[in-house]
Amino acid sequence: MVSQKKPTGVARNARGGAIAKRKGRTDRDGDLVMDPTARARPGGGINKGGKAGAPKPRGAKPGARGAGFEKQLASHVGGSSTAVRTRPSRGLEELRITGHKSSKAASNTDGGLSSLIVWVEKRASLKAKRAVKVKKSRAEGDDLIISVPGEDTAHVLRLDGFVFAGANIKIERADSDSGASKEAAIAMLKGVLTRRYMVENKLLDLSNLAEDPDLKAASIFDSSSTTSKFFPAMMKVLDQQFKSNAEKNEAIISVSLANNQLPTVSPVTTLAQTLPQLKNLDLSNNAFKDLTALEAWRRKFSKLDHLIVTGNPLEQAEPDYVSKLLAWYPKLRLLNTVQVRSDEDAKTGRQVTDIPFPIRGPNFQDEGQIAENFLRTFFAGYDTDRATLVQHYYDEQSDFSFSVNTAAPRDPSKASDTAPQEWDSYIKGSRNLKKITQLPARQSRLCRGAQAIHERWSTLPATRHPDLATQPQKWLLECQSQPGVPDPTGASPVGVDGFLITVHGEFDEIDVSNGQVKKSRSFDRTFILGPGGPTGVRVVSDMLTIRAYGGFAAFEPEHNEPQVPVEAGVPVLPPGLTPEIAEQMLLELQKQTSMTVQYAKDCLEQVQWDFDRALQAFAAVRANLPADAFVQAA
């Protein structure tokens, strides 16, 4: 501690003389121990770098410095000393401090940052002869970024090269890179890209970057701040080498980021913006623990054909990573050099799923065209005369409800359309059970009886649905028999047979004043039909879901094969296979797999009744089959 006793007149005349007796082990404010080689000089400061300096000649002005010193100072602040002294205030300016990690204070709980800030404020205040405060601070890797008022910047910069807790620190503007240094950095990055580009393969090899001689010489990976800026800067330089995106995508189709010890793709995420049409990507021998490390690139490379992730912990941590990556990249054909999707499926972008057998097309099991006639009449009547429609098909026991699904995906072909959906006409009556949790609210939004249903319909916007005859591609209709439908006559206590109809499609909301389209929507509607009513058909239940327009691409069949109507329950057999032989194959497959009759039949149908392929298909998906796929032991 410095004695609080007033110094003698002699000591007062020699500024800092009392502290000089301590041979420079602390500064005049009693801060942390400085370099023991430091010497006091007139004015009480510490010489640059902590080195002893010769005392100035008597009579020298306190502000006078040698030409070398002035030149060094100018190099740090990017201009002449005179310009620094007269720099006008421009609000807060950011300064970067480095070198403190090797100080004695670095062992503090906060790495010595608070002590460093206090030291900077005290030393700069002495230079300015007024209080200088650090307004903001943040750690950026091994660097400390501070914000100080513009009028105080010069005084803080004068501390560049001083000794803090035994270590020389460097202070510079956070954006102090000169034009020359930037040009040198760009030239260096161009050289790295040139050396690592293989023209014949159209491959940009960015593997093992930490051992690149040019990058090591530039100390790119010596601090986290330069490391984080490196890859975005390299991608920017790469992008500037091409006249157009088409030229760039044609020149580079493959990139290797192998052997970079990447824990996530965050440091290199800009690759997806620079080369979005990449076809081959090597991420082997990094440190990806699971697929969350790759989440930033999920569905980013739309044309990715080959991906390599071998040598990463995720292979053991996520056994199902293959199926997930296939879902992320619809055109991925090769994974870790192994073909995981057929050429045809990869070309069309068809998804490969884990379900036991491929999804079938629409199934419409009608009888006497009852369901077909209902659908043709219903949607035409709903668009033109809802009052008459409700009297034809609904009675006092009919139920109707609708819900709004605001989270449904929109049409991918109209991704640029970000217009608000404007759900005001629907929200008040929506019976979305995920949103409406209170029982009274749920009950109030369920309409029962023809009158209540008509009143609810009258609150909904006028609509126009596509014509079923001329625009069938915009509809997906399914129908199947529904047993146990309530008998309105009461003659059958167990109910009667009816139909379950599901409809997926679209409609336009119409402005009734001028007939113009206001908004296009997609919808899903489920009917349960039973006997009754003036037409012989009544709606027992009607549930409507309205969502943002999602297009009809999902309705398009994968293969344009003619649909041959078949009797329900009768398998379609390939030519030359008799029903007797098919039955024996079904029994044998059941015996070897323990699957139920329905699952065994489905399995054989999906492989065109090829028994060996059926066994292979079962073995491939056995782990994913539900429990009800197997015959339960008695």
Rounded-to-integer distance, Cα 463 and Cα 444, Å: 24
Rounded-to-integer distance, Cα 260 and Cα 281, Å: 14
Q: Which pLDDT value is given to residue 364?
A: 85
**Residues 102 and 142 grouped into a single domain:** yes
- Joined tokens for residue 617: 């298909």
Q: Could you say which of 539, 555, 571 is where a domain stops?
A: 555
Q: Which pLDDT value is given to residue 21?
A: 39
**Residues 319 and 204 grouped into a single domain:** yes
Largest separation between any pair of C-alpha atoms in the chain: 123
Q: Which pLDDT value is given to residue 368?
A: 85
Instruction: Please compute, for residue 360, the number of CA atoms within 13 A of its CA located in the half-sphere on the CB side.
Output: 9
| pLDDT single digits (tens) 620-634 | 888 878 887 887 754
- Joined tokens for residue 427: 């929200």
Listed in sequence order, the DSSP H helices in 482-550 are none
Judging by beta carbons within 10 Å of its beta carbon (0-12, 13-18, 19+), is residue 522 exposed, middle or buried? buried
Q: Could you say which of 176, 205, 234 is where a domain stops?
A: 176
3-state secondary structure of 205: strand
b/e map of 313-337 (b: 16 or more CB within 10 Å)? ebeeebeebbeebbebbbbbbbbee
Q: Which pLDDT value is given to residue 33?
A: 42
Q: Specify the length of the chain in residues.
A: 634
Rounded-to-integer distance, Cα 608 and Cα 33, Å: 85
Looking at residue 152, the DSSP 8-state letter turns out to be: G
Domain count, the chain: 5
The identity of residue 197, as a single letter, is Y
| pLDDT single digits (tens) 123-164 | 999 988 999 999 888 887 778 889 999 888 998 999 999 999
Q: Which pLDDT value is given to residue 205?
A: 92
- Can you give the CATH number for the domain in which 305 is found? 3.80.10.10
Low-confidence ranges of the chain (pLDDT < 70): 1-90, 175-181, 225, 348-361, 412-419, 555-572, 633-634
Q: Which pLDDT value is given to residue 78?
A: 38
Rounded-to-integer distance, Cα 208 and Cα 518, Å: 56
3-state secondary structure of 403: strand
Q: Which of 434, 424, 429, 423 is nearest to 457 (CA)?
A: 429
Q: Which pLDDT value is given to residue 450?
A: 94
**Residues 96 and 107 grouped into a single domain:** yes
Q: Which pLDDT value is given to residue 409?
A: 78
**Residues 77 and 188 grouped into a single domain:** no
Q: Which pLDDT value is given to residue 19?
A: 34
Its pTM stands at 0.39
DSSP secondary structure of 186-202: HHHHHHHHHHHEETTTT
Using the Cα atoms of residue 403, residue 404, residue 409 and residue 415 in order, give the sign of their dihedral: positive
**Residues 164 and 184 grouped into a single domain:** no
Q: Which pLDDT value is given to residue 225?
A: 65
Query: Is 571 contained in some domain?
Result: no
**Residues 214 and 329 grouped into a single domain:** yes
**Residues 313 and 437 grouped into a single domain:** no
- Joined tokens for residue 50: 């902590």
Q: Which of 106, 161, 162, 168 is nearest to 139 (CA)?
A: 106
Query: Is 568 contained in some domain?
Result: no
Helix axes of 224-239 and 179-196: crossing angle, nearest 10 degrees: 70
190: how many CB neighbours lie within 10 A of its CB? 15
The identity of residue 26, as a single letter, is T
Question: Virtual CA dihedral for 457, 462, 463, 464, nearest 10 degrees?
Answer: 130
- Is the separation of the CB atoms in 333 and 307 below 8 Å? no
**Residues 337 and 199 grouped into a single domain:** yes
Q: Which pLDDT value is given to residue 342?
A: 81
**Residues 602 and 517 grouped into a single domain:** no
**Residues 374 and 252 grouped into a single domain:** no
b/e map of 232-242 (b: 16 or more CB within 10 Å)? bbbbebbeeee
Q: Which of 418, 385, 391, 378 is nearest to 544 (CA)?
A: 378
Q: How many helices (H) and strands (E) does the chain have?
A: 22, 20
Rounded-to-integer distance, Cα 259 and Cα 233, Å: 20
- Distance (Å) of CA 454 to CA 267, 382, 395, 450: 59, 11, 11, 6
Range of the domain at 340: 179-348
Cα-to-chain-centroid distance, residue 218: 32
